[in-house]
């Protein structure tokens, strides 16, 4: 009998970590760390999520948002407007505005360039929606993509799909454009690629300096667009024409 008590205490102590599992976000982060995979705000981690983990993550995030609201001294127990805000925000982050971090890239098929098309074309404006990594407030804008085809081509609507997926993460605009360029190069290996993004940043409009008219414009040019100034010029001319069609 004398040995029963210490044994049962030891058994309880060793089994307690199994009874209280680690938070799902911690388990995912440990897995990413062990694999040496980056998980910055604008990285996609979908390849490292297991079946059902996104649902568990949604529950965990909702709990944290609930605590955030309490820390903001909002009476979520009695305020009918915010009673389910935590669940809405968790769903919105994981499946809508930041879906580009947690969901796989939409399926995009590429086809051989059988007609050997080699003239440049532009697609735009494509609406892009993101949030700044610094304050998590919206970035809303337009994107134009210029392609000089290589051996493979993708459908026009696919540019919208990949842009939406890339921008639906916390970003800074400069990096968003680079990541989008990397993805398009991977999908269709063009001879030349040019991307222009014009966006309004709500962290400048809504807070901070509160400049309602300021926008940010940036571009990336690769391949033939980079080496041939006349091709680059043609891209910006085509964008100007597409913009004039808007008004």
- Footprint of Zn ion (CB under 5 A): 132, 134-135, 203
CB nearer to Zn ion: give 141 or 190.
141
Min. distance of Cβ 179 from Zn ion in angstroms? 18
- State the burial class of residue 241 (Cβ atoms within 10 Å of its Cβ: 0-12, 13-18, 19+): exposed
CB nearer to Zn ion: give 135 or 161.
135
CB nearer to Zn ion: give 194 or 197.
197
Min. distance of Cβ 204 from Zn ion in angstroms? 8
Residue nearest to Zn ion (CB): 203
CA distances from 230 to 144, 185, 227, 234, 247 (A): 18, 21, 9, 6, 27
Q: What is the token pair recorded at 203?
A: 């962290």
CA 167 centroid distance within chain: 5
Min. distance of Cβ 213 from Zn ion in angstroms? 17
Min. distance of Cβ 42 from Zn ion in angstroms? 14
145 three-state secondary structure? strand
Nearest CA among 93, 71, 90, 69 for reference residue 81: 69
Length, in residues, of the chain: 247
CB nearer to Zn ion: give 160 or 168.
168
């Amino acid at each position: 009998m004398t040995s029963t008590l210490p044994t049962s205490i030891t058994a309880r102590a060793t089994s307690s970590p199994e009874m209280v599992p680690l938070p799902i976000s911690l388990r995912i982060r440990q897995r990413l760390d062990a694999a040496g995979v980056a998980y910055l705000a604008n990285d996609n981690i979908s390849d490292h999520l297991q079946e059902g983990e996104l649902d568990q993550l949604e529950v965990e995030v909702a709990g944290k948002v609930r605590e955030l609201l309490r820390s903001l001294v909002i009476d979520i127990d009695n305020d009918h407007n915010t009673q389910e805000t935590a669940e809405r925000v968790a769903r919105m982050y994981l499946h809508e505005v930041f879906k580009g971090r947690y969901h796989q890239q939409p399926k995009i098929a590429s086809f051989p360039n059988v007609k050997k098309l080699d003239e440049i074309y532009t697609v735009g404006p494509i609406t892009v929606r993101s949030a700044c990594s610094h304050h998590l407030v919206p970035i809303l804008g337009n994107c134009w993509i210029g392609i000089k085809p290589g051996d493979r081509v993708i459908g026009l609507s696919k540019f919208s799909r990949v842009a939406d997926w890339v921008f639906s993460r916390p970003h800074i605009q400069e990096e968003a454009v680079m990541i989008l360029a990397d993805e398009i190069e991977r999908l269709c290996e063009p001879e030349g690629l040019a991307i222009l993004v014009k966006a309004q940043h709500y962290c400048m409009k809504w807070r901070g300096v509160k400049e309602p008219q300021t926008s940010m414009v940036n571009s990336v040019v690769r391949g033939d667009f980079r080496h041939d100034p006349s091709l680059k010029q043609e891209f910006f001319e085509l964008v100007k024409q597409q913009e004039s069609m808007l008004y």
